[in-house]
Amino acid sequence: MSYRVTLEAKEVRGFCPIYKKGDKIVLNRFYIDVASSKDICIHMFSAFLTILSAFAHGSSAVDLGIGSLEDVGYLQCPDPGPPYTRGGTVVFELRRELIK
């Protein structure tokens, strides 16, 4: 089975120089669809990679502890924002769909 996973920025707390609410990153079969995706933040992506890989390979969001539905989960970037940094954190919704 192959999956498409769409990561959508649902909430931005503080200042993020890359993402705003509604921005999307699309993974098709383990590849980033650059034509359909916003720029990739290496800090966010490296923090998400282990769980994102398991989710993209078919592990349940419930089993991974990132959501209450099988194909929808939530992850947050690691930047804590003020008063600790000048940045901010972004909450992403991960939505998985089977590619036929």
41-97: per-residue pLDDT in tens? 999 999 999 999 999 999 999 999 999 999 999 999 999 888 999 999 999 999 999
Which residue is listed with tokens 């192959």? 2
- What range defines the domain where residue 63 resides? 2-99
Q: Which tens digits make up the pLDDT trace of 1-47?
A: 899 999 999 999 999 999 999 999 999 988 999 888 989 999 999 99
**The pTM is what?**
0.92
Q: How many domains does the chain have?
A: 1
Question: Tokens standing for 7?
Answer: 């990561």
Q: What span, in angstroms and rounded, lies between the C-alpha atoms of 29 and 27?
A: 6
> What is residue 25's predicted lDDT score, i.e. its pLDDT?
96
What token pair was written down for 74?
């939530």
Is there a contact between 17 and 8 (Cβ–Cβ < 8 Å)? no
